Structures are given as structure tokens and as C-alpha cells.
Amino acid sequence: MLWLLAVLCVGLVSAEQTSSGRKSYDGYQVYDIIPKSVEEVKYLRDLMVNTDYLDFWQEPSQVGKNVTVMVEPAKFRQLLVNLRKQNIYYERAISNVQTLLDPVWADIDRRQKAGMVFDIDDFNTLSDIYGWMLELAQLQCRTGLLCQVTNAGNAHDGNPILVFSITQAGADRKAYWIDATIHAREWIAPATVLRVLEALVHGTSEEAIELTERYNWYIMPVMNPDGYSYSWTNDRMWRKNRGENPGSTCVGTDLNRNFNFRWGTEGVSHNPCGETFCGTFGGSEPETQIVQNQLLRYGPSLLAMVTVHSYGNMWMFPWGNTVNHAGAVCDRSSDHFELMRVADLTADAIQSTYGTSWARGNSCEVIYTTTGGTDDYAKGVAAIKYSFCPELRGNGFIIDKSHIPLSFNEFWNGIIAMVKAIDG
């Protein structure tokens, strides 16, 4: 199996070396919008669901909470006219997105010209991530641990979805699950999780050694390998997977709206061109099916699962929907306050790292309504009590590599606090 995966990784390298065909974001603008009423929040959410020319970086959620949206050049005047008609406050945050992307592509071109290799302190291609995972398992696994890389299945375009397991002998050992990169453009997510993986395997601290002595770990750094690879070669801002949609020229499904639990009811688009398109049915995408199967497989042993996103400084948990999907009151799980206890201790530990501020709580209340998400499926179907969805640091998806160690330190402190809180 490892030999086969190594061959697959070699095959990925050539696909990621081209710099042709990159989407230009010249003239794309980003606006910050602050809704002043429930009606304005609803109006913005209707815009999000029913238009395909707006890309919401921070989605409409609450009165007074900032909404961030990117709009293509031909449509920004239309957006502003609509906002003015509704008397909704806005201000331009980025006048030309391409000016942020030019240094990104220049750095990638420079690194590739120099013979890019994996760098734990930088962002890395899919092939380099996979090659590093294999090397970590084969050559760097700490004595006493069993480190394995397995192919959980293939994404739409055939890229493998790899799971790194850290286990020890012994029956009935409890475990933790971490996945990342369900949304391709959230590069800080896999970069952060890879450092967690390194810490656990190398035993870089007493906490890391204790975590592997007491528990098994299953880590999937790149859930959406097709989309992630595409974000390196063609479109840095790509979000969805790369599956074709019958009857539409638009590609991709939002995998975090595609899980087969309360699917397609709130906070989703049924338009294949929309950024939050939920797919044709719950679990329609191979990537979603693979993660569902993994969560069901390991679910009985899992004390918690953490599905990592960016950005926004949040630590959230189910549910994502409103009561009876009526759109008025957010639905809370029967153990809401126990989940909140663990989330509070986790977020407090993260905040204490650098003095940042982190929201925490039910995802419907903290951010916005969603259905078909990973954490809801994990709790609702795989019966994993502590199912969490953090949004890592940053104020955008284009984030400097200097944030990687900072994000790791925050997230690592959060994981340690979470485990202690669950231990009671």
C-alpha cells in the first residue's frame, strides 16, 4: 500500500508544476457589510443563496456582525445599488484582489523553479504533503508507536484521500479524529494540522507524548485533494470539490453542505454555480462518502472529531440548523451545555496563547445556519458526542506563511485543553 501511494504521489508532482491557466482576479473587489437588522441579515442571506456572482468570505449571520463578500468586476455596481436600496451599510475592504494574489503566485513560481520541497513552515502542494506523510510514517515514527498512511478512497479526479493513523497496541483504546481542507482555499487549515501531526509523531512535548500514549489519532490533512490541488494550479480562491454537475457547466459541490444528515434544508444553495451548492443528494460526492465511512468506522472509539476550517477565530459545534428548519430559533443538541463547557475551555486556551478573541458555541448561533456539514453528521449519524468545527485565525483566505506557527500554537493549546476537558 505504501509503495502504491508513493507512486501516486510521484504522479501528482508533474500536475502541480504548471503555472498556466491561472484565474485572474484583476478588478475583483471585496466589501465589508454590516447588517443593522434581522431583515438586512435575511436579505444578505438571500443574496448569498440566490446569486452566483458573489463569494461570501464571511457569511451573513447576526445583526451587527461583519459580512465580507467578494464580487466580480462586472457586478460590483449592481451589488452596491442593491445595498443602497436597502440602506445597508458597506465599505470597500480590498480594491483589487489580484494585488494580493500576485505575490502568492510569484513565491510559488520561485519555489518551483528552485525545486520545491516540503517545508513545514510554509504552504505545500498536495504531492509534497503526501510525500512528507509517507516519510513521517516510514522513517520518523517514534519508538512504541504504529504510524500508518492509508488511502481511504479516491476523490472525483482520482486523487487519493489519505489518513495518517497513530496507534499503539491494546484493546479498547479511545481515539480522536482531525480533518482539514474540506474547502480548498483554506490553506492555513492543512498547514496547521500537519504541524499537529508532526508534534504527535515526534513527541515534541510532554503533552504530545501523553496524547499518543493514551489515545489513538486519525488525521486526514486534505479531505478535498482535487480542489486543493486546483487551488495551487488554476484558482487560488477555489472552494468546492471538482466534481461535474450534470446539466450545468459549473463545476463542484460544497462538501460541507453535502453530508447526509439534514441535507439541503438550510444555509445551502441548490444552484450548481453557487459557492454553497449542496450537491444532488446527501452524500452525493465521493469525498463526502469517504469521510462518512471513516467516521462510521472509527466512531465507536472516537471521543471527539475536529473538522478544521478557516477563517474567523471560532470554535463551534452542532447543530447548524434552526428548530424545525423554521428559520427563527437555532436548534440546540440535548447536551448543548456539556458541549459548551468543553468549547469554552478549548477556546479560552486558544485565546490565552496570544490574547486573541474566539467565539464559541452552537454553529447556527455563532455564525449562520448550515445543513449537511461534517460536524453535524459526525454527531447525528456517527454518534460522536464531541464534534467540533473550528475556524482558524486570519482575516481572509490569502494568509501569509508567518501565521502557520502562530495558528499551530493556538490550535495545539486548544487540542490539549479539549482533551483535558473531555477527560473531565
Domains of the chain in sequence order: 29-96 (3.30.70.340), 126-242+253-423 (3.40.630.10)
| Residue at 157: amino acid letter | D
**95 with 187: CB under 8 angstroms?**
no
**pLDDT at residue 353, rounded to an integer:** 98
- Told to judge if 59 belongs to the known catalytic residues of this protein, a careful annotator would answer no
Please give the chain's pLDDT, 424 residues, in tens. Answer: 444 444 445 445 333 433 458 999 999 999 999 999 989 998 998 888 888 889 999 988 889 889 999 999 999 899 999 999 999 999 999 999 999 999 999 999 999 999 989 999 999 999 999 999 999 999 999 999 999 999 999 999 999 999 999 999 887 899 999 999 999 999 999 999 999 999 999 998 999 999 999 999 999 999 999 999 999 999 999 999 999 999 999 999 999 999 999 999 998 999 999 999 999 999 999 999 999 999 999 999 999 999 999 999 999 999 999 998 887 899 999 999 999 999 999 999 999 999 999 999 999 999 888 999 999 999 999 999 999 999 999 989 999 999 999 999 999 999 999 999 999 7
Question: For position 172, what pLDDT does the model report?
Answer: 86
Q: What is the per-residue pLDDT for 276?
A: 93
| pTM of the predicted model as reported, rounded to 2 decimal places | 0.93
State the catalytic residue, choosing from 59, 275, 287, 391.
Answer: 391
Question: Which burial class, exposed, middle or buried, applies to 119 when counting CB atoms under 10 A from its CB (0-12, 13-18, 19+)?
Answer: middle
Residue carrying C-alpha cell 439541503: 264
Closest listed residue to residue 360, CA positions, set 396, 383, 395, 336: 336
pLDDT given at position 46: 87
Three-state DSSP class for 253? coil
Rounded-to-integer distance, Cα 161 and Cα 12, Å = 13
